[in-house]
């Protein structure tokens, strides 16, 4: 028997460093039955910025990133209001959780975190997205020690995409991955 799914109108933040498998898993979850689901790919929100866009991993991009995360949280809320299970796929570290917490919705947080070398190899092997070693490893370091949020981490180092998908299904069906006032 499979674990219970989050309810329609709730939000799942699927995050982790580049190369952790977020988009692969989010795409699969969004296409599953039952119920209406939407996949919000955070990269699309950053790509929407035209003139003046900065690479989001740069320190000087912080103000831009705050705006993008706020827009992402607002879009997630609008879809949740429409009864969708919203799957947010992106680099949403603890430093970006407040806009989602303020939504007052059922919120689950799952951090996919393979070993740094695995994440780097996966990120460099894909056709698009960040492929520069420095920023990938810097982002991995930012997810390497989450303090009280460590309980939301799934180690995907040795997992196939199917194994990771099943682990995420179990996680979102568990109250252990509900984001509380950490």
- Residue 4 inside a domain? The answer is no
- pLDDT for 4 equals 43
Calculate the alpha carbon distances from 95 to 3, 19, 101, 107, 143 in Å. 30, 20, 12, 16, 11
Residue 5: which pLDDT band, with cuts at 50, 70 and 90?
A: low
- Residue 3 inside a domain? The answer is no
> Given CA atoms 141, 92, 133, 155 in this order, what sign does their dihedral have?
positive
More confident residue, 85 or 7: 85
Average pLDDT, the chain: 89
- Residue 118 inside a domain? The answer is yes
More confident residue, 59 or 73: 73
- Residue 120 inside a domain? The answer is yes
For position 51, which CATH number holds? 3.40.50.300
- Residue 5 inside a domain? The answer is no
For residue 89, give the H/E element and its range: strand 85-89
- Residue 74 inside a domain? The answer is yes
Q: Which residues of 34-48 are buried (b: 16+ CB within 10 A; e: fewer)?
A: eeebbbbbbbebbee
- Residue 154 inside a domain? The answer is yes
Residues above pLDDT 90, as percent of the chain? 66
- pLDDT for 2 equals 44
Gap between the Cα atoms of 118 and 127, Å rounded: 16
Note down the domain range covering 133.
11-177
- pLDDT for 51 equals 84
- Altogether, the residues listed in the chain come to a count of 182
Gap between the Cα atoms of 25 and 35, Å rounded: 17
Gap between the Cα atoms of 45 and 32, Å rounded: 23
Give the total number of structural domains in the chain.
1
């Amino acid at each position: 028997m499979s674990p219970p799914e989050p309810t329609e109108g709730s939000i799942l933040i699927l995050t982790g460093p580049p190369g952790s498998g977020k988009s692969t898993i989010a795409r699969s979850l969004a296409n599953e039955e039952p119920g209406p689901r939407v996949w919000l790919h955070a990269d699309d929100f950053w790509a929407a910025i035209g003139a003046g866009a900065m690479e989001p991993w740069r320190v000087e991009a912080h103000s831009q990133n705050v705006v993008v995360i706020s827009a992402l949280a607002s879009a997630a809320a609008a879809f949740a209001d429409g009864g969708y299970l919203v799957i947010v796929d992106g680099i949403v570290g603890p430093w970006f959780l407040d806009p989602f917490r303020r939504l007052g919705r059922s919120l689950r947080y799952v951090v996919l975190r393979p070993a740094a070398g695995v994440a780097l190899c996966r990120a460099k092997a894909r056709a698009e997205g960040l492929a520069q070693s420095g920023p990938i490893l810097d982002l991995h370091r930012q997810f390497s020690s989450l303090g009280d949020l460590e309980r939301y981490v799934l180690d995907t180092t040795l997992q196939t995409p199917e194994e990771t998908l099943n682990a995420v299904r179990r996680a979102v069906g568990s109250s252990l991955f509900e984001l509380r006032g950490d």
